[in-house]
Amino acid sequence: MSKRKSFIFIGIFVLVSLLNQSQLNAKHSKFLETMVFPVKNIMSHFYDDWGEIRGNGERVHEGIDIRARKGSPIVAIADGRVNTVSFTQSSGYYIAIDHQNGWLSLYVHLNDDINENDNLGGRQTAFADGIYLGAEVIAGQTIGYVGDSGNAEGTVPHVHFEVRYMGKSYDIYDYIKVSWERFERFIKFPKKMGINLF
């Protein structure tokens, strides 16, 4: 792709994203406002990398990467039903959960290692017990484990987290940030929470 073409491509993408975003906000969804933060033991603060241009300008990053220690539990952000438990070359091991009313969450690059970076793991290192196609899950339930499978091989272990509404991916950074703040206060530091509240 020429520079000029990529520039136009990025411009159109930004416009479409802005339109999408306002459509989503208009829904004023309780779903997004109540979601549980998807990862335990995060290593560094995540940022709004949704929409970053990657792969030499050839693809748009439609998700948020959350770095965490390898093997850290990944939890369902809301109640739902397992829609996909699979593996592809690029995504590695990944899970999708259908939350009904058009909402879907995705958790990508799950753990494929047993020791260090041996890639000898499989479904057992990637997915939690009881996670199979059609299984019902509840908000906060462990569904899988952080890793670097697929095209994340060689990167800092992270989960590529994505929320889709009616099949389209959206930048839900503002909501995930709030869910992290909730997690940090009420789950990670419960004692401190008590002091703060009472």
Q: Which residue ranges make up the site for Zn ion (CB under 5 A)? A: 63, 65, 160
* Angle made by CA atoms 28, 187, 140, in degrees to the nearest 5: 60
Instruction: State which H helix or E strand residue 84 sits in.
Output: strand 80-88
Please say which residue, 63 or 121, places its beta carbon nearer to Zn ion. Answer: 63
- Give the residue from 139, 150, 155, 151 showing the smallest Cα distance to 70: 155
Residues 54, 73: Cα–Cα separation, whole Å: 27
Residues 24, 26: Cα–Cα separation, whole Å: 5
Would residue 56 be called left, alpha or beta, if left means φ above 0 and alpha means ψ between -120 and 50 degrees?
left
Least separation in angstroms between residue 61's CB and Zn ion is 5
Of all residues in the shown chain, the one whose CB is closest to Zn ion is: 160
Please say which residue, 67 or 160, places its beta carbon nearer to Zn ion. Answer: 160
Least separation in angstroms between residue 169's CB and Zn ion is 11
Least separation in angstroms between residue 131's CB and Zn ion is 21
Please say which residue, 70 or 160, places its beta carbon nearer to Zn ion. Answer: 160
* 146 CB-contact burial (10 Å; exposed 0-12 / middle 13-18 / buried 19+): buried
The tokens of 149 are what?
Answer: 């499978």
81 contacts 135 by C-beta, under 8 angstroms: yes
Please say which residue, 88 or 100, places its beta carbon nearer to Zn ion. Answer: 88
Least separation in angstroms between residue 49's CB and Zn ion is 7
Please say which residue, 33 or 48, places its beta carbon nearer to Zn ion. Answer: 48
Least separation in angstroms between residue 13's CB and Zn ion is 16
